[in-house]
Chains A and B, each alone.
Chain A
Amino acid sequence: MADGLIKKYKWHLLTIVGLYAAISLWLFFFTDSPQDVPFEYEVH
């Protein structure tokens, strides 16, 4: 069943993954700046 869905929606899947990647790249470049927020840590 999964094989069938992948074949049927191959381009849909690739388009959505590409969209996620594009959003990530935009986020990366749009927020790329010298540190301008307080130091913050995930303690553990």
Chain B
Amino acid sequence: MKPKKIVEYLFLMVVPLVLFLILGEVFLRFYLSRHIFYDVEMSRYAVTLKVDSPDPLVGHHHKPNSRARLMGVEVETNSDGFRDDVYPIEKGPKRRIIFLGDSLTLGWGVAKEETFEHRIESALNDVAPTEIINLGVGNYNTTQEVNLFFDKGLKYDPDQVVLFYFINDAEPVPQRSRFPGLGNYRIITFYWSRLKALHARLSDSVGFQEFYSALYSGDAPGWKKSQAAFRQLRDSSQQNGFDLRVVLLPEFHDLVDYPFTREHAMVTDFLREIEVPYLDLAPAFHDQRDAMSLWVSRDDAHPNGRAHALIANYTLDFIAEADDRWPTD
């Protein structure tokens, strides 16, 4: 083939692709300024608020003193990287509680004032001075939550620690993306997300139910590591004298015929065995027939503000019963 022809073929392959990527990026940025697209928002979260942790058991944590508008709400981190106010290390007269968890505890897609953390803190404060420090970070599993507590939470000398457990907290510690920076490009995120969805639709790949259930099957390493992390946290509560409780949050796809009853029973059986008080919220949501009305968006099953309000209502007494200032009736 003549060199001139080769140049022409290359031209016809490369130029339209580059042109399409540029036009697509411009169009998507315009479109997404008016619409929310879950995978793009999660990629933006990774780029704007997450950073490597020096602790490999934590993996990543939030950048301190950072802010971003994600899923249409402001997310701002304090000097410790928590989505919360700044608290002095030294404890004052208020009862101090620490919440551990993942994106649900963080309040993904929900304004801070609407999170269950904020609602529970307000309700407790109506009775007796209380402060809750929210250590929730997106994409965390139990190992990360517990080790973040050891790295950054224990110094606050809490009276109580509540770990909010979600079905995917038994996943292995997530690995760093092999392509850092790709999250900066909407067109790349769009194709990554949609091709993943296409693959799931056309192949025999497992759906979210089978994926989550598999985390608890046989010798699944993630669940074993979660159990080890729970034991570490229980031991720490005994050594440091704080009350430890666990709340199991439901998965919000099907609340009537809840598909993870067996997995929740495995978690609660284990917590009973290591003598940690727990509250399973899945039965409390059993009458919610329209599960999607509790989602933050159609493509994102994280709980919205109404779901956070329900979580706060159902959880309040369980958390407060450890406080002798709380009325017992």
Residues of A bordering B, CB below 8 Å: 2, 5-6, 9, 12-13, 16-17, 20-21, 24, 27-28, 30-31, 33-44
Contacts and interface: CB of A to CB of B under 8 A. Distances in A.
Contacts of B38: 35
Chain B binding surface SS class:
helix
Given A17-B19, A38-B208, A41-B46, A31 B198 contact: yes
Interface stretch (B66-74, B86-94, B121-129, B295-303): B295-303
Nearest to B171: A38
A26 B250 CA distance: 34
A43 B8 contact: no
Contact of B168 (A21, A33, A35, A39): A39
A37 B194 CA distance: 11
A3 B17 CA distance: 18
Interface of B: 7-8, 11-12, 15-17, 19-20, 23-24, 38-39, 42-43, 45-47, 50-52, 59-60, 103, 138-139, 168, 174-177, 180, 182-183, 189-191, 194-198, 200-201, 207-208, 211-212, 253, 292, 295, 298-301
A34 B12 contact: no
Contacts of B211: 37-38
A9 B201 CA distance: 37
11 contacts: A13-B19, A16-B20, A17-B19, A35-B208, A36-B200, A42-B46, A42-B177, A43-B177, A44-B52, A44-B60, A44-B176
Contacts of A5: 7-8, 11
B230 to A, nearest CB: 21
Contact of A12 (B12, B59, B138, B212): B12
* 4 interchain residue pairs of minimum CB distance: A16-B16, A31-B197, A20-B20, A44-B50
Nearest to B187: A24
B198 A34 contact: no
Contacts of B180: 44
A38 to B, nearest CB: 4
